[in-house]
Chain A
Amino acid sequence: MLISLAPQFFFSGITNGSIYALIALGYCLIQNATGLVNFAQGDFVMIGAMIMISLYNGANMPMPLAFLTAVAGTAVVGMALERGPLRLSRNRDTLTLVMVTVGASISFRGSSMLIWGKSDHIFPAFGGESPIFLLKAAILPQSLWILGLSLLVLAMLYVFFQRTLLGKAMRAAADNPFGASLIGIPVSRVVALAFALSGGLGAMAGILITPITSMNYDAGLMLGLKGFAAGILGGYGSAAGAVVGGLLLGILEAFGAGFISSAYKDAVAFLILLIILFVKPAGLFGSVRVRRL
């Protein structure tokens, strides 16, 4: 009985997994550019979805335009976080900066509550509501949109980092900021760009998942934490790891929820996180740092 549901679990797993992968990529970009864990990453997800809701439901903007505007708007929010509090902070200690992002996360939640209220919001799915059947699994067209758009973004990011000068400059700045600045790469602008990109990625994740799960001012937190867990599963700071970790976490979570109990769905994700930390702390694709004296 349960086995026959496996394809269903699998498809819902990769749908959620793609979302986690997008969020984990956002963490990864900021980790590589600054060495920080950005606690406001989940709030980028929420803000993107909320802007989309205002533009589409409120201002009746066409969906593709609203989508692009919301992503761009959240990218600006991401950049503002870096240009504002993080850059102003006089204490450059990593932990203090991480706590600044905690403060930012609370502020984002607070403003969102003021602007959009406490209730759940939703907008229609991209491709209608009638499911497609494949291997006895009902797949919402939205799931296909999520998979397709995530793949597209991944491909674009890959081309950006491997083929363009700016992308290579970003990789150089992440690898060795001092060396990069010596050869004329504007490291501080590159860092701002990383925040903008990760804001945009978060917004995309939020906009894609909202038609399935709806969104409220508080929902970014759990999504952010899941993305974080996905990043660790894959190997924190590794882009390939973020994608594989996201998909794997989504699938494991869907099967865990299906075979054990959906009440423990969230616990499964974090149990996997703990097991990975205990067994292979560098994650699937990461490497352990070697300290030298």
Chain B
Amino acid sequence: MSRLPFVPEQWPALLVLAIFLALPPLLSESSYLFFMLNIIALNALVVLGLNLLIGSTGQVSLGHAAFYGLGAYVSAIASTTFQWPLPAAFFLSLLFVAVTSFLLALPTLRLEGHYLVMATLGFNIIVSILLGQMENLTGGPSGFPGIPRLHAGGLDVASDVRFYCIIWLLFLLLFAGTLNLTESRLGRAFQAIHEKELTAKALGIHTYRYKVSTFVLSAVYAGVAGFCYAHYVTFISPKSFDIFHSVQVVTMVVLGGMGSMWGGLAGAALLTCLPTWLHRFEDLHVLLYGLILMGVLVFLPQGLIPSLHRAAASLPRVVPSRKACGHEHSKTAGVLPVSEGSPALLQEFSPNGANPSVIAHHHGHAPVLRLEEVSVSFGGLQALCNVSFEVFPGEVVALIGPNGAGKTTLLNAISGLLRPDSGEIIHAGARITNLPPHRVAAMGVGRTFQAVQVYERLTVLQNVLLGLHVEGRSSFFSSMFRTPFERGEEQSLKAKGLGFLRQFALGEKSHVPAVQLSLLEQKLLELARALALSPSLLLLDEPAGGLNPRESGVLMHAVEMLRKKGMGIILVEHDMNVVMQLADRVVVLQYGCCIASGTPERIQKDPRVIAAYLGSGGLRH
């Protein structure tokens, strides 16, 4: 079933939902019941978009009621005041919502931090004031009556039941499409952005573009819901689209479990019904609503659906889980390769993994990286001062120096995470000085981090697939529809990713969440992920930090193999054993300046280096 296009991985659950939704029209004719179910569907649509946004940016919008309202009002005005046909009004309202959300997202999402919440909050309040004040266009606070019902051809959606069928069908389609999107290459990138945005950039993921696109998409979901709402109830007023409705839909998201699509549906259903159930308590209902909301948030840590999942998972399971455990244990012993006894490690590394340009440079003598007088300062602090050196293919350049010498700063400048104040950075003949990090990564600069940056909640395979992200071509559209092209591409990326994992003896653990790996395995995974970018230059930031001598031996062996494949490597390292064994050349930084460079033997005897490390007064290292 899930091999067909558009059918999501979770189709059995969707089928159950669809069957369940088919029951009410067969069992009941109460128009009140259908009215409630229809409102649930509309809220669930908005919540679906919000969940997509939270999943991809980790940010919340307090302005989705405004997009809901814009979808409703623009279509109402176009179809009633200007007598436009419905499809035209529909497209106009969606276009309007898309453009406004785009303009709002453009400046706000460029920044890190919780600016989106504030901007959308302000936006929502402005929109509801405008809807209330522009009386000749919107009818003002008293509302906009006489909106035509949904109709297409001869079919008039005149009853609650008919609208029920249409809105839930629409919801199921969009729900399936959204599930497909979250399970695709793009969905993986969204999760990466949410968890660690800087790392995602260093993997070549255009985080800003994705954040803006998901924001616009989620606003369009709200716009679609607004359009349907306007042409269902035929009367709209600004009160339905104020900031409190935005807060309410966000509450549905949080209640159901942030980022959980099924949780969003549950949250929408519960919170839409709760006020009507509570209305029998009359004046008490506001207080009860608040208390119930607080109670659920306080006592169900992850929201409804994830909490249920966890409860179900903690029930004692008999055979299968134990079997899996034993299986894993028997493998762990063999996974850690021992330093000398690991000929298997990296042996099968295929040259087609590496960038063809690397091979070319390897034979010629053009440098893979050239730094020309690179300077960086933070306020008054000169972090890097006119640093120049070159790295050739197949060469390991170790970058050493006391803490705070500017080593990581230099790596950050090369990978585009910060901009040098002056100087040039040239990679394989191309100037990358002021390029954004995702472009630098896509051009073939891979890196690992001082503090390991694996995506702990994703599996090992998904981590490597993120490294392969730049290789994929599938779009939002093909991901939502799970087109054969997208399926094929995903399959080949997976095969390729598994190949990389096997080279690092991680193949057996491909479906384990990365958080369960040992530090060495996480570092190897980070290396495998960087290699997935097919880099010609690899930046390794303290790869041996925190490892015991046996483990750092394994890592050195891996680096040695990569060098043989013709990659240029910059190695920041404090462990002098590692430096002396691996490095062809050593560059020594102190207070941001390059104080010496040369072969390991020469550097060992250099008096300036000895002074920098030992200091004139006392022991420094």
Q: Does A277 contact B (CB under 8 A)?
A: yes
- Is the pair A114, B283 in contact by a Cβ cutoff of 8 Å? yes
Contacts of A111 in B (CB 8 A): 287
- Assuming A229-B122, A274-B123, is B130 touching A102 (CB within 8 A)? no
- Is the pair B198, A293 in contact by a Cβ cutoff of 8 Å? yes
How many whole Å from A94's CB to the nearest CB in chain B? 8
Q: Does B142 contact A (CB under 8 A)?
A: no
Q: Does B250 contact A (CB under 8 A)?
A: yes
Q: How does the 8 Å CB contact mask read for A91-128 relative to B, with 1 for contact and 0 for none?
A: 10001100110111111111101100000000000000
Contacts of B577 in A (CB 8 A): none
Contacts of B450 in A (CB 8 A): 293
- Is the pair B287, A267 in contact by a Cβ cutoff of 8 Å? no
Chain B residue at minimal CB-CB distance from A229: B122
Interface residue stretch chosen among B86-94, B111-119, B233-241:
B111-119
How many whole Å from A236's CB to the nearest CB in chain B? 8
How many whole Å from A11's CB to the nearest CB in chain B? 25
Which residues of A, 152-169, contact B by the 8 Å Cβ criterion? none
- Assuming A232-B118, A273-B118, is B290 touching A89 (CB within 8 A)? no
Q: Does B561 contact A (CB under 8 A)?
A: no
Q: How does the 8 Å CB contact mask read for A73-91 relative to B, with 1 for contact and 0 for none?
A: 0000000000001001111
Chain B CB within 10 Å — which of A102, A105, A232 has the most?
A: A102
Q: Does B254 contact A (CB under 8 A)?
A: yes
Q: How does the 8 Å CB contact mask read for B304-342 relative to A, with 1 for contact and 0 for none?
A: 000000000000000000000000000000000000000
How many whole Å from A184's CB to the nearest CB in chain B? 29
- Assuming A270-B122, A289-B113, is B302 touching A91 (CB within 8 A)? yes
Q: Does A133 contact B (CB under 8 A)?
A: no
Interface residue stretch chosen among B148-156, B177-185, B223-231, B293-301:
B293-301
Tell me the bound Cα distance from A102 to B283 in angstroms. Answer: 19
How many whole Å from A221's CB to the nearest CB in chain B? 8
Q: Does A264 contact B (CB under 8 A)?
A: yes
Tell me the bound Cα distance from A108 to B408 in angstroms. Answer: 50
Q: Does A266 contact B (CB under 8 A)?
A: yes
How many whole Å from A262's CB to the nearest CB in chain B? 11
- Assuming A90-B301, A109-B286, is B112 touching A291 (CB within 8 A)? yes
- Is the pair B288, A274 in contact by a Cβ cutoff of 8 Å? no
Tell me the bound Cα distance from A99 to B117 in angstroms. Answer: 13
Which residue in A90, A106, A232 is a CB contact (below 8 Å) of B286? Answer: A106
- Assuming A264-B133, A293-B417, is B290 touching A107 (CB within 8 A)? yes
Q: Does B243 contact A (CB under 8 A)?
A: yes
- Is the pair A271, B302 in contact by a Cβ cutoff of 8 Å? no
How many whole Å from A273's CB to the nearest CB in chain B? 4
Main SS class of interface, A: helix
- Is the pair B294, A266 in contact by a Cβ cutoff of 8 Å? no
- Is the pair A274, B126 in contact by a Cβ cutoff of 8 Å? yes
How many whole Å from A191's CB to the nearest CB in chain B? 17
Tell me the bound Cα distance from A96 to B199 in angstroms. Answer: 25
How many whole Å from A238's CB to the nearest CB in chain B? 15
Which residues of A, 246-293, contact B by the 8 Å Cβ criterion? 263-264, 266-267, 270-271, 273-274, 277-278, 281, 288-291, 293
Tell me the bound Cα distance from A76 to B302 in angstroms. Answer: 29
Q: Does B95 contact A (CB under 8 A)?
A: no
- Assuming A110-B288, A289-B113, A291-B198, is B453 touching A277 (CB within 8 A)? no
Which residue in B115, B243, B290 is a CB contact (below 8 Å) of A281? Answer: B115
- Is the pair A108, B118 in contact by a Cβ cutoff of 8 Å? no
Chain A CB within 10 Å — which of B108, B125, B283, B284 has the most?
A: B125
Which residue in B123, B297, B302, B449 is a CB contact (below 8 Å) of A99? Answer: B297
- Is the pair A270, B251 in contact by a Cβ cutoff of 8 Å? no
Tell me the bound Cα distance from A131 to B26 in angstroms. Answer: 70
Q: Does B107 contact A (CB under 8 A)?
A: yes
- Is the pair A225, B121 in contact by a Cβ cutoff of 8 Å? yes
- Is the pair B297, A89 in contact by a Cβ cutoff of 8 Å? yes
Contacts of A110 in B (CB 8 A): 284-291
Chain A residue at minimal CB-CB distance from B302: A91
Contacts of B284 in A (CB 8 A): 110, 114
Contacts of B173 in A (CB 8 A): none
- Is the pair B250, A99 in contact by a Cβ cutoff of 8 Å? yes
- Is the pair B408, A293 in contact by a Cβ cutoff of 8 Å? yes
* Chain A interface size, under 10 / 10 to 19 / 20 to 34 / 35 or more: 35 or more
Tell me the bound Cα distance from A207 to B107 in angstroms. Answer: 38
Q: Does B412 contact A (CB under 8 A)?
A: yes
Chain A CB within 10 Å — which of B107, B108, B121, B294 has the most?
A: B294
Q: Does B33 contact A (CB under 8 A)?
A: no
- Is the pair A271, B298 in contact by a Cβ cutoff of 8 Å? no
How many whole Å from B396's CB to the nearest CB in chain A? 22
Contacts of A229 in B (CB 8 A): 122
How many whole Å from B417's CB to the nearest CB in chain A? 7
Which residue in A104, A232, A270 is a CB contact (below 8 Å) of B294? Answer: A104
Contacts of B287 in A (CB 8 A): 106-107, 110-111, 113-114
Contacts of B111 in A (CB 8 A): 281, 288
Contacts of A225 in B (CB 8 A): 121, 125, 243
Chain B CB within 10 Å — which of A37, A104, A105, A274 has the most?
A: A274
Chain A residue at minimal CB-CB distance from B124: A270
Chain A residue at minimal CB-CB distance from B255: A99
Contacts of A270 in B (CB 8 A): 121-123, 125-126, 129
Q: Does B344 contact A (CB under 8 A)?
A: no
- Is the pair B113, A85 in contact by a Cβ cutoff of 8 Å? no
Tell me the bound Cα distance from A264 to B254 in angstroms. Answer: 32
- Is the pair A103, B126 in contact by a Cβ cutoff of 8 Å? no
- Assuming A95-B60, A105-B290, A293-B449, is B298 touching A267 (CB within 8 A)? no
- Is the pair B133, A263 in contact by a Cβ cutoff of 8 Å? yes
- Assuming A95-B60, A108-B290, A263-B133, is B107 touching A103 (CB within 8 A)? no
- Assuming A110-B288, A232-B118, is B293 touching A271 (CB within 8 A)? no
Contacts of A263 in B (CB 8 A): 129, 133
Which residues of A, 24-62, contact B by the 8 Å Cβ criterion? 37, 39
Which residues of B, 564-590, contact A by the 8 Å Cβ criterion? none
Q: How does the 8 Å CB contact mask read for B160-199 relative to A, with 1 for contact and 0 for none?
A: 0000000000000000000000000000000000000011
Q: Does B451 contact A (CB under 8 A)?
A: yes
Contacts of B60 in A (CB 8 A): 95
Tell me the bound Cα distance from A43 to B253 in angstroms. Answer: 23
- Is the pair A293, B453 in contact by a Cβ cutoff of 8 Å? yes
- Is the pair B291, A102 in contact by a Cβ cutoff of 8 Å? no
Contacts of B123 in A (CB 8 A): 270, 274
Which residue in A90, A221, A273, A277 is a CB contact (below 8 Å) of B299? Answer: A90
Which residue in A99, A105, A109, A289 is a CB contact (below 8 Å) of B254? Answer: A99
Chain A CB within 10 Å — which of B119, B251, B291, B297 has the most?
A: B297
- Is the pair A96, B254 in contact by a Cβ cutoff of 8 Å? yes
Other A-B contacts than A221-B244, A277-B107, 15 sampled, CB-CB below 8 A, are: A85-B294, A90-B299, A91-B301, A95-B60, A96-B254, A106-B290, A107-B290, A108-B290, A113-B287, A114-B284, A225-B121, A267-B129, A278-B108, A281-B115, A293-B451
21 contacts across the A-B interface (CB closer than 8 A): A85-B297, A89-B298, A90-B299, A91-B302, A95-B254, A99-B293, A100-B294, A102-B247, A106-B290, A107-B287, A110-B285, A225-B121, A264-B129, A266-B125, A267-B126, A271-B122, A274-B119, A274-B122, A277-B107, A277-B118, A291-B198
Shortest 3 CB-CB contacts between residues of A and residues of B: A110-B287, A107-B290, A106-B290
By a beta-carbon cutoff of 8 Å, the part of chain B in contact with chain A is: 60, 107-108, 111-115, 117-119, 121-123, 125-126, 129-130, 133, 198-199, 243-244, 247, 250-251, 254, 258, 283-291, 293-294, 297-299, 301-302, 378, 408, 412, 417, 449-451, 453
